[in-house]
Amino acid sequence: MTVYTSRIDTDAITALDFHTHVEADHHGHLSLDQELMDASAAYFRGDHPRTPTVDDLAAYYRERNMAAVIFTIDAGTGLGHPPLSSEEIAEQAAAHADVLIPFGSVDPHRGADAIAQARRLVEDYGVKGFKFHPGLQAFAPDDPAFSGLWSTLEELGVVALFHTGQTGIGAGLPGGRGIKLRYCDPALLDDVAADHPELTIVMAHPAVPWVDTQISIATHKANVYIDLSGWSPKYFPQQLVRQLNGPLRHKVLFGSDFPVITPDRWFGDLAALEIKDAVKPLLLKENALRVLGLGDVR
């Protein structure tokens, strides 16, 4: 077993993408079943191959002189689909530690087993955080049943990254394939942030249709951040643009949601926004480095 240790040259990289997906492993397994993959591809209308492996992600970001947080989602209970192995992802990321940062994922419904797995992933594999998708995983983050998991992540000092807002997975299918958007309301994270003040929480994506709630929580809770993945910047709600240029300038993180949105597209569309020059380095990597405890950023 190789324990991940970052070798990222934080001065040399141009940006740190906080939100990228491993969608396939070396055994040919996919992170979602084909129907959900197809629905997601149709929703985002992307032109990039939809199933990158760890090696694919490393090559892609190394070519662009960027670093990236990578993860899968363990939604075994919620979707009935076997997850990719977070352990394998972490081990493979260790071979690309100059460019990749592994997050794990555990199924909250597995209770004590999920807590034990989370601890192993941090202590034995070196993951730096965990990705949760309450809609796909079919759970409410503020349910007291999951507080033990949040306490464990708080103790371990790692990041909890939660999908918030609309999701393209299941979009356009009958009943959205049973995926309930109410679990993705960022308001459900307010209790988690309040009850676990040392847990760093990142709300993934502009949380349409709850952006104002998201802004309020990130403003109110020092331990809560927002990654800007999953939406082209040209579609960012105006109130979010105003906040990231002002009160939230230290709380926003660049993320693409690769492969459904590429960094190339994201940066191309960002150029059309009026982002203050002083905010750009914070948004592109400095805030993320601080959240992850990398480099000398204060």
Q: What is the tens place of the pLDDT at every residue in 37-90? A: 666 666 666 555 567 899 999 999 999 999 999 999 999 999 888 899 999 999
CA-to-CA distance for 229 and 222, rounded, in angstroms? 21
Confidence at 168, pLDDT banded by 50, 70, 90: confident
- In a domain, residue 297? The reply is no
- Asked if 107 contacts 137 with a C-beta cutoff of 8 angstroms, the reply is yes
Exposure letters 151-164 (e unless 16+ CB within 10 A, then b): ebbbebebbbbbbb
Would you tell me how many other CB atoms lie within 10 Å of the CB of residue 219? 13
| More confident call, 291 vs 168 | 291
In order of 112, 115, 151, 153, 193, the CA distances from 147 in angstroms are: 11, 10, 6, 10, 11
Residues 185-213 have a mean pLDDT of 98
184 three-class SS: helix
Contact yes or no for 232/45 (Cβ under 8 A): no
Q: Is residue 191 part of a domain?
A: yes
3-state secondary structure of 71: strand
Q: pTM for this one?
A: 0.94
Closest CA to 255 of 283, 227, 282, 235: 227
What CA–CA distance (Å, rounded) separates 257 from 102? 15
What pLDDT score does 52 carry? 86
First and final CA of the chain: distance in angstroms?
A: 33
d(CA 259, CA 237): 22
What's the pLDDT at 41?
A: 66
Task: Round to whole Å and give the CA distance between 60 and 67.
Answer: 10
Split into its structural domains, the chain has a count of 1
- Asked if the structure places residue 9 within a domain, the reply is no
Tell me: the pLDDT tens digits for 102-134?
A: 999 999 999 999 999 999 999 999 999 999 999
Say if residue 197 is preceded by a cis peptide, omega within 30 of 0: no
Q: Compute φ and ψ for 137, nearest 5 degrees.
A: -85, -5
User: Do β-strands 159-163 and 200-204 pair in parallel, antiparallel, or remain unpaired?
Assistant: parallel
pLDDT above 60: residue 186? yes
6 within some domain: no
- CATH of residue 48's domain is 3.20.20.140
Backbone angles phi, psi at 69, to 5 degrees: -85, 130
pLDDT reported for residue 27:
59
Mean pLDDT of 196-222: 98
What is residue 23's predicted lDDT score, i.e. its pLDDT?
A: 77
Is the per-residue pLDDT at 26 higher than 60? Answer: yes
Is 8 a member of any domain?
A: no
Residue 7 in any domain: the answer is no
What's the whole-number mean pLDDT along residues 7-34?
82
The SS3 call for residue 40 is helix
Q: Spell out a b/e string for 82-115, using b for 16 or more CB atoms within 10 Å of the CB, else e.
A: ebbbbbbbbbbbbebbebbbbbbbbbbbeeeebb
Q: Is the peptide bond before 206 cis (omega within 30 degrees of 0)?
A: no
pLDDT per position as a tens digit, 202-214: 999 999 999 999 9
Q: Do the domain assignments include residue 249?
A: yes
CA–CA distances in Å: residue 269 to residues 87, 120, 162, 195, 213: 35, 40, 24, 37, 25
Q: What is the domain range of residue 40? A: 16-292
For all residues of the chain together, what is the average pLDDT?
92
* For residues 264-283, average pLDDT: 94
**In the predicted structure, residue 28 carries a pLDDT above the cut 80:** no
Question: Quick one: pLDDT at residue 108?
Answer: 98
Q: Tell me, what amino acid is at 45?
A: R
The answer to whether residue 4 sits within a structural domain is no
* Backbone conformation region of residue 218, classed left if phi is above 0, alpha if psi is from -120 to 50, else beta: alpha
The answer to whether the beta carbons of residues 4 and 126 sit under 8 Å apart is: yes
Using alpha carbons, select from 68, 58, 57 the residue that is nearest to residue 285.
68
Sequence letter at residue 182 = R
